[in-house]
Each structure stands twice: as C-alpha cells, then as structure tokens.
Chain A
C-alpha cells in the first residue's frame, strides 16, 4: 500500500499547503483536496473499521456514496461524526478521527467479531436476541450499542446557528456535470430563473476528473467557461456545497447548503448550514451515475476502490492510489481508467476483464487478462496482491491497489422519492428513473446517457423543452467537440464466482454474498425481506453502492430478472441532514416562544412563582415571609381573598371583540344560552357546545354596545374558540353581518376579589362603582383616575364580591401597582392561579378539568342555561339524543373528606363502600381537588352517577395510582356561599 501524491497535475493548488491531523498525527494536503484525497496522498489507506466484523476498511469512492471512509471531523462541541472523507473539503487545521475502533484503528479488539463470523451471519439479530425477552434491556441492547457505534456525537449544546430559507425558480438543476451545465446554460440564456445546486465544493461534476478533450482542451477549462457565464448571469444562483436531498409535493425540493463547514473558524454571524426549500417550476436531475463495485473475494481490503475513484484521485487530485494498480472490469470503463492512470505514470499490475471476448485494447505494456476474475486478495490492513482466476488457473499478482468497475447505475434517488418505482432496463443493465412527469426530468448519465456528447445534448434539449413549456424561446447552446470516447457498455457481473474469502456486497454493514444466500434459503428472498434480514442497505449510506449488486445477486439466486426483484423504497434524505439544520432557528426560546402577561413584571415584583400554561407563564403563587411550601402561600392567599381582598392576573384569558348588526344573533347561535336580550352594559356567563352536545368552552359575554360585544374564553382555548367562531361566521352562516378579532394581547386584565374589593377599586376609579351604580354583572367602560379609560366587569370566579378590570396592556403594571398600594391598608394580597383554583373549587365553578369533552351542560349542573326556546344553536340538536339525557349520567357533585388528614386527588375513581374496584362498579371520578382553607378540610369536585340524588352518601375515593383510599361525603358542589349573597353585596 503505497499511495502517493503525483509530482504534477490535478486541480489542487500546490502552492497552498493545508495542515490537518488524522487520529492525532499531523499531515498536510493542498487547497482543493478532499480529506480522502489528502489521506491517500499521505498513504493513509486504512481509515475505518466495518460495523459488524470491525474489518479494516479503506476509501472506496471519491464521492457521496462512500460506505467506508466515515470519520469524525472537528473536536469538542464542533464534532461531526460519520462525515464522509470523500466529500469533506480539506481546510487548514482540520482535525479528523477514525471511528468504530477500540483501542486504536490499527489494533481493534472488536475484530474478534470476525472470528465469530459464523455466529454473526444474516438474521443473527433475530435468531440470537429473541429470547429471553428480559435479556434485551439489561444485556443485549447495551452490548450491541457499545459494540455498534460508528461515530459518537457531542452531547453539549450546539454552539453554531442554522437557518432555513425558501427559494423560488423556474428551473432547478441538480448537479453541475456536463448535462447539468448544458441545461443551466440554455435556461440561463433563455432568461429563466435558474438555481444550480451541486453537492461538491467545486462545480463541474465529472468534468473536473474527466480526461476526454473538449474543443481540444481539458474538460475543466470548458466547465470554467460555462460557470463564468452562469456566474455573471443575474438570473442564475449557483449553490455549491449544496445537496438536494429530497423531492416533495408541488415540486418543492429540500437542499442542505454547507455554508461554513470548510474552515476551522466559524463566523458567528452566519449559519454553519442552511436548509433550503426550493420551489421549482421545473427541475432537471443531472445527478450522474454511480460506478458499481465488483463482488469478489476479499474486495473490502483497504486499497480496493472503484475505477472511477482511482481515476478521479489521479486526474482531479493528483494522487495515485498505488504504485501497482490492478484493474478489474466488466466493461470499457476499466480500460479508460487504465489509460488515465498510465498517462499519469502510475504503474498498472494487470487489467482483468471478466468478458472473454471484449474488443477494447489495453494501453501499451499493460498485461490484459480477458475472461478473468479476482477471487481473493492478499495482505493485512493493506493490499499486497490479488489471486486472479482464468479458466480455473490461479495466478497471484502483486499489486498495492485494485480499481474495480462493475458498470454504471444512474443516480435516480430523487425521482423515486414520491412513490415512483425505478424501471429496469435490460439494454443498460440498470434501473432508470420512472416517468414522474414534467416537474422532474433526469438528464445525462442520470438518464442512462453515459457519453459526454450525449450528456451535453440531453441536458441542453431537456432545458430547451422546459423553456418552451414556460412559453419562452429557447436560446442556443453550441456543444463542445468531444474527443474520442470509449463505448460505455458493460456486461453485468453481479458477483464473481469462486470467491476464496468473503465477498462483500454492503461494505458498511458487512453484508456479504453468503448472507444473501442464507436469506434466500431461509425464505427471505424478497428484496424488502432480504434487506431487513441481512441489514444490507440499512447503513448510513443506505446502500447507494451495494444495493444494485444485492438485487442482481438475489435475482440470480431466485432465477429471475432484476426487474422482478425490484428495489427497496427510496425516501428522503439522500444523504444525512443534521438535526441542527432541520431545527433551523427554532431552538431555545425560539423553539417554544414564551408568552408573558402584560402583568408579568408586576407579578415578578410581588414574588410570584411562575408556572407554564401552554406558552404562557402564569403567576402560580406569591410566597411571603417565612412561607416554605406552596400550600402555605396558597392557603394565606385564599383566606386573604375571603376575608379582605386579593388581586389576580387574568390577562391570559382569551378576549374576542365582536361587532356588527348581527353580532347578537351570531353569539346567540354560538352559545347554548340565550344572549339576544343581554342588555348593553351587562355581562353574562356563557357556554359554548360542540355539535355533539358536549361543552366546548365557557367564558363571559359582555355587551358594550348594541352591536358590540366582548367575549372571554379560557386561556387554553383562546385559539380554538377563535377558529371555531371563524368557521361559524364564514362557513355556517356567511350571511350574518358580524366581524370579530382577538384582542387577548391588547388588554391587561386583573381580578380584584374580596369583601373589600369595591372600596379598594373605587380609590383608583373616577366613576361611581357603588352597588347601585355598578351592580352585579355590570360591564362597561370606566374612567380611572388620571383619565385612563378601562373596562370594568363585575363578575366573580371566586364567589366573592369581585371585579375584573381591563386596561390597555401597556398600562397594566402601573394600574396593578396602584391597586396594590391602594389595597395595602385593607390587607389586599396578590394571589395566583393556585389560589384562584382553590377559590373556584370552593365555589363549585367548573374549568376544563370538569369540561373535558365528555360533559354536557346538565352533567356540569348547568342544564338550566340551555336556551331550549332558541330556534338553533351549535350543539342544540344532538343534546336531546338518547344517552345524553339518561338519569344515571355522571353529574357534578362536591366531596368532603371524612377525615381532615385524608387527601383526595383528581383522577381518583368513586366506588360504593365495600364494592370491588372494577369498571362495572365504577361510580365516577374526581375532576378537581384541593385543601379548602375556608372549610379546613380536603374537598373535591367530582362526577358521580346520578350524583345530584346522592347528597349525604358516604363514598370511597379510590386512587389506585397513588395507592390511597379516602372516605368522603357527597354534597352540593357549591361549598361556599350557596345563595350568592356575597356576589350581590
């Protein structure tokens, strides 16, 4: 194994040396190198260990289908595992480490798996780890996870930023080889908006490694000329380092641009990667073709690579894969590689052609073996020779590299991602893209047109068709004069008979010929079964290289055509995409935006502990002095409200303002209770139902004018109620003259509750709010001192004398502060949603804990609200159906624990005393529970079968989850002030 840098040639900048390291060893390369070409130039052929057997593995390709050369690039928090060295652009200071080996790449203990190979055959996972089931969690899975592995990621937060962008174009060209350049040029000259995306850091595709002359010059010179023209066309966007990974509905393409993955320093202002969604009227798939490996004994030894890779390393990167390269081919490509290597002065050990009577001639002085094959390789972690077979005669040939060519497969992945299945071509011995319509058209080698001249012609013609389809005149394209080209044909050779050692089909997952044979023998010959049974094609490369040979082998074993075997399903992503790019800017606070009430600052100043409620942060309780537990604070807040007063932030409630001559009629159809006669200046509690008769949401409806209402929704349903109203207004009754909008964020709203609420409130309100002037359920605009206008509602959730005051959001904190100052001498406190919850349970008011979608108004004790006299409202018709009016439905009741130290929790079930816990015996459930500081005992709201007839009954509150059983007495759900004397005080 003696790869080396050629003295001259290649598209690298030899005047620009880059330092990098591999497994701690300092090495150097040149600008224009990939990590793989630089490693080869330093004679580092061993780059990784295989997944299952930990066999030494080298570089197989020079592109994105690489199965072996997966390394970790970067260090610390900027560590990218499973990076393909064959596409990683070399930069100064690059740090690369090998993977899947322990303790070192050269000496890897996992390689003993190779000795246990017969236990690790196909179906191994299914057979070995099936039993006993208990072993999975404790033994098998940790074992497999440690042995398996590939790269490991860094678990600390990603320091880099990513972004997502949309792009729009008339034509997206995927790939910048001859077909892609011709297509882009025709479209650009015709005035189309063009995006040309190329996964490589250099544009030009195979023209960068091709040696056939174009117009008498090296092909890269032609490519540069075309790219210059494209670069200077304002209607063209060139996207190098951009992999188009997915094709989605409406011709939207997903692409990953590596913006800053090719340097050690990261500019924090820019993203490191950008995820593009490209909306293309048309797209041309010019993704080229993939050269197939040959399946022969020992074909995984470092030093064995595809012929096109060997030629690319020589021509584009100025690197020889070895000093004596054996070439094994089933077609003309091997001869072309032989010519290219010979032209660079690289020694060729032999050219072995599997076809007995091919017409091609080997370069002068090269030993040609027709009708021959390789049946084994020699060497350790590096190649020293091959065993060639010709008509049964074995021949040991010394060499340090093998260039193999098994024919070509068009890269059609994108075209098959939306359900279209590849179509087998007998003529080309390859799968071609199905006809997927005019949106995405393969061209050039991706369409099975392998000759350069055909690529130019095909790309140009298909672009011209698109130009004309878009109603424009197609501009001309003068294709270059192409020098002598070899015949691209080959004779399929799915595997080489007579292998003397393992012949690998899937290098990354260590699937060899024998595994496929076993799969067929054991009844897993279907391509989808064989894939899962052998794990062939399931590695990170998704079988880009190996699948076609696996299909050919299965076909041969089953005695059918590859067309009959078919392919496994193609799905995005073509190559892996980082989670960072998929998340884009939706990380941290942007992943889940925080909604803060306009009174957030006021709550924080008063010592609030906040709780997340959806996106909202709501003040939960306000700890004071020596209070250690939330219960201490909540009990004090509740007592304070009942005895003096409290101020609570209720700004998170949904608020929707409704206008129009038909506003009253609209709301009357939306709520189950009558609203037509609601007087101006009054509020009313309202219940919305679903059409199936269950409660949807509750809130208040206030009439601020004849044709102007303000409704509130629960915090959680603010969005849902708005959509529901929009559906009703736009779809159900578009003839109603009504308009509405959400004003939830425009108003700060606070509840002032307690016997002293009025006197405190009056001190900041200019208008008279005495009981006579502002009675229970009054709702209207008031003038505050200092001339600020607010909206005041005399409504109560706590059961106390209470008001809700709304002021424009920006004034919220100042008003709340003023109220707190005014309330101080009266013993007013700030109270949070926990105390609010206790207060409302004591008063028997329901929330979504009760209104859980299974509850009718009557179940919740609100049956009297139903406007049965109304002609129609949402939910009216099905409210009367059988089952919703049954007498044994679960009805809202109160529960009082018989012992003060016994707790009840929401979710507990209710059982008759002595009854066995079972579904049959289930009597209902607890929906809300708390300790009542007012009653000094645990209380709960619950739904109990025929509950309203059972006040006074003793019942078991059975909480299996927490292992608690409590005896409770069933009672009326209103524990505090049942005759509402406080509300009207």
Chain B
C-alpha cells in the first residue's frame, strides 16, 4: 500500500481517498466465450509477489477508475492511469 497515489486527474492525493478493487489484468470475456474463460475471469486470481496492476477508484475525488501499477512488496508505484484509456491499449 502506498501512502500517496498520483491521480492523473486530481494530482497526488492520500491513499485514504481511494478504494481498491483488485487485479486489473483479467479482461471481461465476450458473452460467447468458453465456460473456462468466464470461470477464470470471475473466480481465478493469481497472487503474485512484486509488480501488480490493480483497479483503484478515486472515490473521494474524481471518481474515476484507475489502473495502479505497483510493487506489492516494496510498495513502489510505477504508474497510475485512467482505466478507460487502458481499455483502448
């Protein structure tokens, strides 16, 4: 956990303003995708040590969903981007 998160819209703000959802890596499969793909998306998560990409929401700020890339061991934050722009990558 970091003490500060730099929201791309609001600037550097205390972590208390944010809520964390979890792994940002799984992408929602199409409704035609296999049972396995959906099971993976909804239920299965890896629990890596080190660099992770997570969804955080700036609930007490702009209310945008963000992708926070950080190290869950050193707590270093590498990047914070708006999740909507992530989708277009």
Residues of chain A having any CB pair with chain B under 8 Å: 166, 248-250, 252, 277, 279, 691-692, 723, 726-727, 730-732, 734, 871-872, 876-878, 881
Contact = CB atoms under 8 A, between A and B. Distances in A.
B84 A250 contact: no
A731 B63 CA distance: 12
Contacts of B64: 726, 730
Nearest to B33: A877
A403 B31 CA distance: 80
B3 A248 contact: yes
A872 B31 contact: yes
Contacts of A871: 31
B20 to A, nearest CB: 12
A728 to B, nearest CB: 10
A730 B83 contact: yes
Nearest to A742: B63
Q: Which 8 A-B pairs have the closest CB atoms?
A: A734-B84, A252-B3, A872-B31, A249-B3, A250-B3, A250-B4, A249-B75, A731-B83
B54 to A, nearest CB: 12
Given A726-B57, A878-B38, A249 B2 contact: yes
Contacts of A881: 35
A730 B86 CA distance: 10
B78 interface: no
A248 B1 CA distance: 10
The prevalent SS among residues of B at the interface is mixed
A841 B3 CA distance: 47
Contacts of B45: none
Contact of A732 (B28, B35, B38): B28
B49 interface: no
A732 B3 CA distance: 28
A723 B59 contact: yes
Contacts of B87: 731, 734
A730 B42 contact: no
Given A723-B59, A731-B84, 4 more contacts: A277-B3, A692-B43, A727-B57, A731-B65
A129 B12 CA distance: 51
Nearest to B87: A734
A252 B31 contact: no
A249 B65 contact: no
Nearest to B64: A730
9 contacts: A166-B14, A279-B4, A691-B42, A726-B57, A727-B21, A730-B84, A731-B86, A734-B88, A878-B42
Contact of B1 (A249, A691, A723, A878): A249
A726 B65 contact: yes
B53 interface: no
A723 B88 CA distance: 21
Contacts of B38: 877-878
Contacts of A723: 19, 57, 59
A277 B2 CA distance: 14
Interface in B16-50: 19, 21, 28-31, 33, 35, 38-39, 41-43
A252 B4 contact: yes
A723 B57 CA distance: 8
A691 B42 CA distance: 7
B42 to A, nearest CB: 5
Contacts of B21: 727
Q: Which of A279, A723, A731, A872 has the most CB of B within 10 A?
A: A731
A921 B17 CA distance: 47
Interface string B49-89: 00000010101000111000000000101000011101110
Nearest to B30: A872
B36 to A, nearest CB: 11
Nearest to B6: A250
A250 B38 CA distance: 37
A395 to B, nearest CB: 57
A694 B28 CA distance: 17
Contacts of B42: 691-692, 878
A377 B83 CA distance: 71
A963 B62 CA distance: 51
A279 B59 CA distance: 22
A104 to B, nearest CB: 48
Contacts of A692: 42-43
Contacts of A872: 30-31
Given A691-B41, A734-B87, A878-B42, A727 B3 contact: no
Contacts of B31: 871-872, 876-877
A730 B65 contact: yes
A881 B29 CA distance: 16
B55 A727 contact: yes
Contacts of A734: 84, 87-88
B43 to A, nearest CB: 8
A723 B55 CA distance: 12
Contacts of B29: 877
A871 B33 CA distance: 12
A730 B1 CA distance: 24
Contacts of A279: 3-4, 12
A726 B63 contact: yes
B79 to A, nearest CB: 14
Nearest to A252: B3
B1 to A, nearest CB: 7
Q: Which of A692, A734, A871 has the most CB of B within 10 A?
A: A734
Nearest to A418: B75
Contacts of A878: 38-39, 42
A731 B83 CA distance: 6
A281 to B, nearest CB: 12
A123 B33 CA distance: 61
A691 B57 CA distance: 19
